[in-house]
Amino acid sequence: MDDIVSVVRYDDVLPLVLEIAVEICGEGFFLRNLLLRDSEGFVTVVLREDLDPALRITLASRLSDALGVYATVPPVLTPSEIFDLSLADEANDKFEFVVCKSGYQEYIRYIERRIVGGDWVRDIQQPIPGAPKVVVFSSLKGGVGRSTALSVAAIHLARKGKSVLAIDLDLEAPGIGGMFLNEHELPFYGALDFYVEFGRTEINTHFMDNMCKVAYEDSSGGKFTIVPATGATSQMSPQNVLGKISRAYLEVVSPAGEPISFLDKTRELISQLCSYGNYDVVFVDARAGLNESTAATIQGLGADVLFFGIDTPQTWDGYKYFLAHLARHKAEAVDPADWRYKLKVVHAKALDSDGALVEFRDRSWELFSSYLYDEIEGGEVAEGLTDAFGFDLDDSSAPHYAWPILMSEAFYEYNPLFDDGLQNSDEYVMPVFGIFLEQLCERLGY
């Protein structure tokens, strides 16, 4: 207990800094100045205003005493003293909502730098120029039917005459490729090969053509094309797969000397695939969890993002971490292109009862209201944010209002390779996925 009381831990730092700054310099200090957290977790107050020298000395002393190892030396500096004039530019700021132990709370200007997970602290990206609409199928836990839903939706759209490209970016647990393509049908390369080779060897038309395989064609002219996570080359040299994965997430350097992250490579992957093929929509099967690759798909593609989850405590705990992080980007939301409109929850493996659907919706609304909707206590909108973005509990257009996919034994073991198309027949699909498919098609305009 003494350790808990006396030692300042990572989670204590921001509330302590805010409390000390408000006590010494007054409220709104971090709406005029900046709090910087470096790659090791140490914090610096970056001054953008002229501060009385005596106050500056007092603030620095108090922060050093209170934060211990988490305070830089000295903990109060100007951008020029750090030799980083980019810190003077407010355009780079995020807003972090900080609640002090005293109960005082405020949005502060905040920048976080990381060595690992750097894509998480980048801005929400715009859609990829020249690409069709992109839909990300995402989940925090595996086993919720995310890949199955993507496959069912792809075939459903192909039967409507649409050309669907599906990319498996769950590099460490490949899914959709193996669902539809046996070992002898795999394209030579997979998405994993693109990440490893990009910036190292030539990525040409031959390479890109050999990443894609048509998995389903319909008499309407529609088709479903897959880029698997791993291709035939990984089947031939399986001993190299773990080595490839370890290198897939590494940054490479452009000819101009600029770093190219996993997010940048993912945008380039989709851009190049769409330049060689004519697709109506791109589906991305994202890796489960909060991995670096998740940042690329959720924040990096300007995509519609479907959050799959089942009604368990693990689901809500996981999404709490995720939505709390995304709340930092609320200041980047600009009407009418607010990126939050592109989010949608999917109630996976839902029980076919009104009570179960309502309980899931209520929990989802509480989470979104706490983090991503703008209204805060008293109905106000935090300073520095956009106009209010919020929804009533029962507004079916809201991000929190889930599309259900019902629990069904028919899809416990989804294996379209060996069932002669039965699992993708309307007889099987529509009772389970009907609402989901209807709403997805409406969102896509089909």
Would you state the structure tokens that stand for residue 243, as one six-digit string? 């080595």
What average pLDDT does this structure show over 266-270? 96
pLDDT band at 385 (very low <50, low <70, confident <90, very high): very low
Query: How many Å is the Cα radius of gyration of the chain?
Result: 24
347 to each of 324, 366, 373, how far by Cα in Å? 20, 15, 20
Instruction: Please give the average per-residue pLDDT across 64-75, as a whole number.
Output: 92
Q: How confident is the model at residue 421 (pLDDT cuts 50, 70, 90)?
A: low
Per-residue pLDDT tens for 206-262? 999 999 999 999 999 999 999 999 999 999 888 888 888 888 888 888 888 888 999
> Judging by beta carbons within 10 Å of its beta carbon (0-12, 13-18, 19+), is residue 89 exposed, middle or buried?
exposed
Model confidence, pTM? 0.83
Cβ neighbours of 82 (radius 10 Å): 15
Q: Is residue 40 pLDDT above 80, yes or no?
A: yes
Structural domain boundaries in the chain: 2-113, 121-444
How do residues 197-216 score in pLDDT, each as one tens digit?
Answer: 998 888 999 999 999 999 99
Q: What is the pLDDT of residue 93?
A: 86
User: DSSP string spanning 295-338?
Assistant: HHHHHSS--EEEEEE-SSHHHHHHHHHHHHHHGGGGGG--TTS-
* Nearest-angstrom CA–CA distance, 416 and 409: 15
Residue pair 14/30 in contact by the 8 Å Cβ criterion: no
Q: What is the spatial distance between Cα 180 and Cα 155, in angstroms, rounded to a whole number?
A: 11
Asked: is 121-444 a CATH 3.20.20.140 domain? The reply is: no
Residue count of the chain: 446
Rounded to the nearest 10 degrees, the angle between the axes of helix 53-67 and helix 13-25 is 150
Please state the rounded mean pLDDT for residues 43-68: 95
Which position has the token pair 């020249």? Answer: 130
Closest CA to 45 of 8, 16, 6: 16
What pLDDT, on the 0 to 100 scale, is given for residue 376?
A: 47
